[in-house]
Structure 1
Amino acid sequence: MTAVARFLRSYPWVTATLAVLVVVLVCAAAGWPLAARIIATAYVGAFVVYTCVGMVRDMLRGHWGLDILAVVAMLATLWVGEYVAALIVMLMLSGGEALEDAAASRAKADLDALLHHAPQRAVRVAADGTQAEVDAAELLAGDTVLVRPGEVVPVDGRLLEAAEFDLSSLTGESLPVGLGAGDEVASGAVNGSTVVRLIALRAADQSQFQQIVALVRRAQENKAPTVRLADRFALPFTAFSLLLAGGAWALSGDPLRFAQVLVLATPCPLLIAAPVAFLGGLSRASRAGVVVKDGGVLERLGRLRSAAFDKTGTLTAGRPELVAVRPAGGAVADEVLRLAAAAEQASSHVLAAGIIAAAEARGLQLPAVDGASEVATNGVLARVEGREVAVGKPAWVASLAPGLERAPLSAGQAAAYVAVDGVFAGTLVLQDAPRPEAAAVTAWLRENGVARQVILTGDVEATAAPVAASVGITEVHAELLPADKVRLAAELSPRPVVMVGDGVNDAPVLAAADVGVAMGARGATAAGDAADAVILRDSLRPLAEALSIGRHTLRVALTSIWIGIVLSVGLMLVAATGAIPAVAGALTQELVDLAAILYALRALRPPVLALPAHAPGNAAPSESVGP
């Protein structure tokens, strides 16, 4: 009974309509038809006025309301004395909200699970060891946080002791993952069986899981594509229904035919089925490891024709390892590495981490940096121990230190060049191989309509071309500034175009593309802000899954709409002959609505993706890539 009471309170128009319908039926059975008609007419008339006000507001915003059919149907049934049918149409229209909520709740179950998983409270440890429970939102970078067994990690942090974590809500990985002291753990991970402490790397609202939650909330609130889909069908369907109803009246001379046709033209399949399908698609994408900001993005993903990729951290694994230090001009290898690693502390580029990690592994103490600046796509310039240290691309470093010599590189290698006080000091050679699944993903995209694929990178041609060849991409645009990437993405055709980047230096072009997709597995929050979708797993495979889900969702949404339209039109044609009474027609239309909505839930079923988890690929040589 509690559930029934909750339902009746949540949907007052449904409750009131059921009550009025019972009263009208009792009056009619008691031999008071006039009273029944007056009550029904007054009540339905009030609902029509209420609906018309909202419909006019929608029209002023540029959306032609499909509710006009239901309004005309209610008025027509009242006019011809079919007031019970009018109440049933009203019950269907007011009950549409309840039906949509029920279907939407099923469709967005995975999105809701992410929201409910968001940490609310956290235990902060003070410098004297005392503990205090606080709101997770209060955590700041540098705080020491204690996470109990089974609790959700509330903030991105660096572990102070080893532990196992469940990362399934972030990456889809079903097995616990062991992390050691000093490793980073993302917010949203679930702690295993031991108490663990960590140092917060960033404020709670800037941590990875909170960024995901923000994306999910936006996805649930934005219904733009469903409105556009309904708009495409609204005017033609409305005009056809009114013409058919008018024609049936004209040919028969009986105004009852007009009402009998229109009660079968209610718009629930268009108003409800498409939103349910898109919510299902968004939910399915989140389960596949891709958070999509809204249904409009999902629709564009389903129509993609071109793709642009960043290289480092996107087509490559983004985990560069230092394999050689080649000093020049009498410099010492460890000194070149030490100064370069110190300067790279000011860089956000993915290769900086490899240089710093190599220096730390050799036991080199990194000095403090006295002033540093990152020159976008070129390198980093810093003052270290009174010396000016530059680390970056050969052309840029050569402009600061004449006499630079480019290093010969083997397959899969990249180089960062170092200058100290205007003198070329040496080359750092790193290995960053293409992702094992990259070739399979690009091949799948080509086979599924994304024929044009390009690399847009700030690296030099010699760096990008071998990587492109290894993953099956033939078009490369190299040595680009951020503005160049934005321009080329805007000029790329055919459209729509997806841009995939690692989120470090790609925010402008991600925002400029038709669909910007960020590799957010390592918590690049700038990417989440600029991109339309964020891949949570450290893999390109979810990109293909998102495209497949987008196409499947769009197909399901359109099919559910057409199911409703075709069934409605067929029934309207029968009703035009007078074979379907108005009350029976109103009840039958509810079955049409249900069929369309049940079909829309097919968006939750994953499409078949014929893509191997890993594909063989040859390592490619690469040239200087900057910091």
Structure 2
Amino acid sequence: MVLTTVLVAALAGVLTASAWSWSAPWLLGGFAAVAAARSAWSMVRDLLRGNVGVDVLAVTAIVAAVAVGEVWAAVIVVLMLTGGEALEDYAAHRAEHDLTALLSNAPRVGHRLLPDGTTEDVPVDEIRPLDRVLVRAGEVVPVDGTLLTAVAELDESSLTGESLPAERVAGDEVLSGGVNGASAVTLEVTRAARDSQYQQIIALVEGAAASRSPMVRLADRFAVPFTAVAFLVAGAAWWVSGDAVRFAEVLVVATPCPLIIAAPVAFMAGMSRSAHAGAIIKSSETLEKLHGARAVAFDKTGTLTSGRPELTEVRSAGRLSSDEVLRLAASAEQFSSHVLAQAVLGGATARGLTVAGSGSAEESTANGVTAQVEGRTVVVGKRAFVAAAAGQDVPPTALEPGELAVYVAAGGTYAGALVLRDEVRADARTTVDDLRSHGIRHIVMLTGDARPTAEHVAAELGIDDVRADCLPAQKVEAVVGLVERPVVMVGDGVNDAPVLAAADVGIAMGARGSTAASESADVVILRDDVSLVATTLTIGRETVNVALQSIWVGIGLSVALMLVAASGVLPAVVGAWCQEGVDVLSILWALRATGSRSQRVRVAPSLEQAPVPS
């Protein structure tokens, strides 16, 4: 529409300089009337919903200008109106372009077992209860079912929030959405795909998003008083002068250019600044809600904690040094893809230990690893597994909430235990403190973990409100029930998707989190850095402050021009161009939302590790 307006104006200019000059006013007036009718239709629909927007004044100005023959002034107003709409749409579409497709990791195909022992790949919607399905290593479980395989190890962190692997034995229920471990397993289907856990979570997301209340745009909050003042001044000028042209002249300079253009420009600048910092903000509405945020809720695993177990302590049984126990364990685990094996290897590397070669390594699913290391049999895994291999009793080692022990035997003798923990992120406490310093009144932690583990993490971070043992629906209830509004929710897993959609602002840790969480969120953090939550909040607040400033600057200048036009010394066309000058000043002020040069320099190095798509 912007391009069309420019082309019509150019054509009218050509006609004015030709023998067809008489047609130029008709072209301009007709085009402005059509543009006004288009905007009026949207305006009427908004009025029927009870919303009075800034378009009312702009449409009136266009109609008044055409009615008194000031067609060029009318077209200038059309250009302003369509330009503001285009900027707003561009900002929204640019943000959407930076995100991935909806639920790209959702299981779509299942391997159904046939009576002859072979498998056939079928869409998950065709899988029925009592069917048997094969889930290969590393695949997402497509439907809920009962485990038929003797033992299985599943990563259910995206469903439950628990970072450590979940072990299941034959007869246990297995929920869709979890990720299978290193060995293929067989399930007997208990629920069709549409009734399974994963699809229920998706339904929760859709329901939560639909229940959100619509928000009035920032510019529209100024629409009623500004429109009233403009009509009052224009009507008074007409009444005093007795000239209807005076009414149009006032309305042309009163057209709400700052309201229509300044706010979208500021929001686009703020969204661009946020993207360069490593967080995609999907809409200008999100920026406004961040500006007023009063409460923040955090998921624990993968958000406040790393989501990856790390070695915290090596406890030797006395025969070998702690470094030797760790070195032997890492040597046995080096060929395993298990998440705990990676933690053991990472711990050995951090201590500068050299891993020895191992032979005839054998992994027992959900139990541990047995390997030959430097002529000795080394067994690493669960206490019962290590005790059976060593042929002796292995005493349990004392653990704090959130800790897990991996036991080690070497040469047929118990050697010690490795203590692992999902550590709190180094910058999590700073993030919580920063949020409080920015006026966040209430911080709450929601998690599917047991209360002792949850309270231990919360104590480290200074969070008083802890909701533990939460299912996805209970997280939604907790957020909806918070008194302080707006509420910001931060999470990363599939289980967080419903509550991200239910919150006033959902922030997804998208670097390692699920696509379901990213799709249901309003903000997606592209780097594995929780401190960007505080950064995003700051950008939201500063952006809206700049937008408000630019609006007030524009309104002040517009009111001054209205008073001048009311005196009759400002022709409509000149007034329209003066209003465009006000636009320029408002836009320049709004562009301050990009932040200072120093602010951009501080975030720029991060782009080398995680480039933001443009």
Distance 2:261 2:214 in 1: 12
Given the alignment of the two structures, is residue 43 of structure 1 paired with residue 28 of structure 2, yes or no?
A: yes
Distance 2:489 2:341 in 1: 23
1:100-115 to structure 2, matched below 5 A, reads: none
- TM-aligned CA distance change 1:576 to 1:351, over 3 Å: farther
Aligned length: 440
Aligned to 1:559: 549
Contact 1:323 1:431 in 2 (8 A): yes
Aligned to 2:516: 526
Given the alignment of the two structures, is residue 294 of structure 1 paired with residue 283 of structure 2, yes or no?
A: yes
Question: Which one-letter code corresponds to 1:313 in the other structure?
Answer: G
Once the two structures are TM-superposed, the CA of residue 22 in structure 1 deviates from its matched residue by 5.2
1:167-178 to structure 2, matched below 5 A, reads: none
- TM-aligned CA distance change 1:309 to 1:355, over 3 Å: farther
Distance 1:355 1:491 in 2: 42
**Identical columns (%):** 45
Contact 1:309 1:455 in 2 (8 A): yes
Distance 2:89 2:311 in 1: 50
Residues 58-78 of structure 1: CA distance to partner in whole angstroms, max 9, x if unpaired? Answer: 432546564443443344344
Contact 2:92 2:282 in 1 (8 A): no
- TM-aligned CA distance change 1:607 to 1:461, over 3 Å: farther
Distance 2:417 2:217 in 1: 55
Given the alignment of the two structures, is residue 444 of structure 1 paired with residue 444 of structure 2, yes or no?
A: no
Given the alignment of the two structures, is residue 55 of structure 1 paired with residue 37 of structure 2, yes or no?
A: no
Question: Which one-letter code corresponds to 2:64 in the other structure?
Answer: A
Aligned to 2:423: 433
Distance 2:427 2:364 in 1: 39
Across the aligned residues of Structure 1 and Structure 2, the Cα RMSD in angstroms comes to 4.7
Distance 1:60 1:318 in 2: 48
Aligned to 1:377: none
1:258-273 to structure 2, matched below 5 A, reads: 258-273=247-262
Contact 1:226 1:295 in 2 (8 A): no
Aligned to 1:202: none
Given the alignment of the two structures, is residue 464 of structure 1 paired with residue 449 of structure 2, yes or no?
A: no
Residues 168-187 of structure 1: CA distance to partner in whole angstroms, max 9, x if unpaired? Answer: xxxxxxxxxxxxxxxxxxxx
Contact 2:500 2:521 in 1 (8 A): yes
Once the two structures are TM-superposed, the CA of residue 279 in structure 1 deviates from its matched residue by 1.6
Contact 1:549 1:606 in 2 (8 A): no
Residue from 36, 42, 60 that aligns with 1:72: 60
Distance 1:293 1:511 in 2: 13
Distance 2:585 2:253 in 1: 14
Partner-residue secondary structure (3-state), 1:480: coil
1:335-414 to structure 2, matched below 5 A, reads: 354=343, 365=361, 367=363, 408-409=398-399, 414=403
Once the two structures are TM-superposed, the CA of residue 49 in structure 1 deviates from its matched residue by 3.1
Aligned to 1:604: 594
Contact 1:103 1:601 in 2 (8 A): no
Given the alignment of the two structures, is residue 593 of structure 1 paired with residue 583 of structure 2, yes or no?
A: yes
Once the two structures are TM-superposed, the CA of residue 353 in structure 1 deviates from its matched residue by 6.4
Contact 2:493 2:514 in 1 (8 A): yes
Aligned to 2:222: 233
Distance 2:87 2:285 in 1: 22
Question: Which one-letter code corresponds to 2:275 in the other structure?
Answer: S
- TM-aligned CA distance change 1:246 to 1:291, over 3 Å: same
Question: Which one-letter code corresponds to 1:86 in the other structure?
Answer: V
Contact 2:490 2:500 in 1 (8 A): yes
Once the two structures are TM-superposed, the CA of residue 368 in structure 1 deviates from its matched residue by 7.4
Once the two structures are TM-superposed, the CA of residue 313 in structure 1 deviates from its matched residue by 2.3
Distance 1:231 1:290 in 2: 27
- TM-aligned CA distance change 1:70 to 1:571, over 3 Å: same
Question: Which one-letter code corresponds to 1:531 in the other structure?
Answer: A
Aligned to 1:86: 71
Residues 432-487 of structure 1: CA distance to partner in whole angstroms, max 9, x if unpaired? Answer: 33222222111111111112112222333332333222222222222333333222
Once the two structures are TM-superposed, the CA of residue 542 in structure 1 deviates from its matched residue by 0.8
Structure 2 residue ranges without an equivalent (≥5):
101-135, 138-212, 317-324, 350-354, 370-380, 383-394, 408-415, 604-614
Question: Which one-letter code corresponds to 2:486 in the other structure?
Answer: P
Partner-residue secondary structure (3-state), 1:450: coil
- TM-aligned CA distance change 1:235 to 1:461, over 3 Å: same
Once the two structures are TM-superposed, the CA of residue 304 in structure 1 deviates from its matched residue by 1.3
Contact 2:5 2:78 in 1 (8 A): no
Once the two structures are TM-superposed, the CA of residue 17 in structure 1 deviates from its matched residue by 1.8
Question: Which one-letter code corresponds to 2:479 in the other structure?
Answer: A
Partner-residue secondary structure (3-state), 1:432: strand
- TM-aligned CA distance change 1:45 to 1:323, over 3 Å: closer
- TM-aligned CA distance change 1:280 to 1:368, over 3 Å: farther
Residue from 436, 455, 461 that aligns with 2:445: 455
Aligned to 1:577: 567
- TM-aligned CA distance change 1:254 to 1:50, over 3 Å: closer
Question: Which one-letter code corresponds to 1:287 in the other structure?
Answer: H
Contact 1:21 1:87 in 2 (8 A): no
Contact 2:445 2:467 in 1 (8 A): yes
Aligned to 2:183: none
Given the alignment of the two structures, is residue 16 of structure 1 paired with residue 16 of structure 2, yes or no?
A: no
Residues 204-244 of structure 1: CA distance to partner in whole angstroms, max 9, x if unpaired? Answer: xxxxxxxxxxxxxxxxxxxx999722332334333332222
Once the two structures are TM-superposed, the CA of residue 413 in structure 1 deviates from its matched residue by 5.9
Distance 1:112 1:497 in 2: 22
Contact 2:254 2:559 in 1 (8 A): yes
Contact 2:2 2:79 in 1 (8 A): no
Question: Which one-letter code corresponds to 1:595 in the other structure?
Answer: L
Contact 2:427 2:530 in 1 (8 A): yes
TM-score, with normalisation over the residues of structure 2?
A: 0.60
Partner-residue secondary structure (3-state), 2:444: strand
Partner-residue secondary structure (3-state), 1:309: strand
Contact 2:298 2:491 in 1 (8 A): yes
- TM-aligned CA distance change 1:552 to 1:461, over 3 Å: same
Question: Which one-letter code corresponds to 2:559 in the other structure?
Answer: V
Question: Which one-letter code corresponds to 1:289 in the other structure?
Answer: G
Partner-residue secondary structure (3-state), 1:500: strand
Partner-residue secondary structure (3-state), 2:260: helix
Contact 2:39 2:55 in 1 (8 A): no
Residues 127-146 of structure 1: CA distance to partner in whole angstroms, max 9, x if unpaired? Answer: xxxxxxxxxxxxxx99xxxx
Question: Which one-letter code corresponds to 1:297 in the other structure?
Answer: T
- TM-aligned CA distance change 1:485 to 1:554, over 3 Å: same
